[in-house]
Amino acid sequence: MSALILTLIVGVGLGALYFLVASGLSLIYGLMHVLNFAHGAFLTLSAFIGWFVAQAMGATTWPAFLVSVLVGALVGAIFATLTELILIRTLYERHIEQVLVTVGLSFAAIALFEGIWGSDAITIAGPNWLIQTTNVLGAQIPNKYWVLIIAAVIVLVGLVIFLQKTRYGMIIRAGVENRSMVTALGIDVRKSFTLVFAIGGAAAGIGGVLAMHYATYVSAHLGQTLLIFAFIVTIVGGLGSITGAALASVLVAVLQQLANTYLNNTGDFIVVILLAVVLLVRPSGLMGKRA
């Protein structure tokens, strides 16, 4: 019984990490219709800068950890904003060019990161509490999973409130539905669209720093590894649906952990099967809008 509880809670915690990475990806596509293959680069740069800041402050202290998360969010937001302003702004509704540009940026970023920090993974340390465990019905749950779950819930609630309750959120949703009408009202939709990229980058930045602590290392390929599962989550949940991404993140991660535990490490295979079934049965995803 304790093994099952451990598997389920670890799955939910891993799903929280997938959501942190996928939420920005889903937000940008859902509101901007931009498939951003450079999203992993936002995550990786945030992780490296977060690691550098934590090292400077004393890596194993809580202030260093919290500041590194905030710095990661800021770095991700700045990187995403510059990407939108310089590369994406002239390519809206030109999807092939968007893919080529963001894929190119992703490869260039990895080469740059390897040139600066090297190609080998760098082992990192965080607060000792993260590597300790909490007993839940006989299962010893690593504390880092609780941090991931709390961070994912905060990001999910924050995104929903922003989109549904704030003036900018309403402008963004209106701009997506009818950009010309919103522009005719004297509202600069471009600023709102840039804000969407910044928020998506900030979510990726938070995910990058926490992914670093989850894996206990940072490398130039950290973001690309997680980006694969982020795309799967985004497709399964429904392109553009934040709540769908949250649901799919937990579903994908829990199935992955159950398969790894009870089906001889076949988790990745099961996730691919789930993706294929969703694409065949409901191509729009679990909570995506049907065409």
Q: In this predicted model, what pLDDT tens digit does every residue of 54-107 receive, in sequence order?
A: 988 887 888 899 999 999 999 999 999 998 888 888 777 777 888 889 899 999
What parts of the chain have a pLDDT lower than 70? 1, 31, 172-189, 288-291
Name residues whose C-beta falls within 8 Å of residue 71's C-beta, 6 or more positions apart in sequence: 46, 49, 50, 53, 209
d(CA 162, CA 171): 11
pTM value is 0.89
Q: Supply the pLDDT for residue 248.
A: 92
Q: Supply the pLDDT for residue 189.
A: 67
d(CA 85, CA 78): 11
Name residues whose C-beta falls within 8 Å of residue 93's C-beta, 6 or more positions apart in sequence: 33
d(CA 148, CA 125): 16
Hey, which bits of 195-285 come out as E strands? 217-218
Q: Supply the pLDDT for residue 138.
A: 82
Nearest alpha carbon to residue 22 among 193, 255, 266, 252? 252
178 backbone dihedrals φ, ψ, rounded to 5°: -150, 85
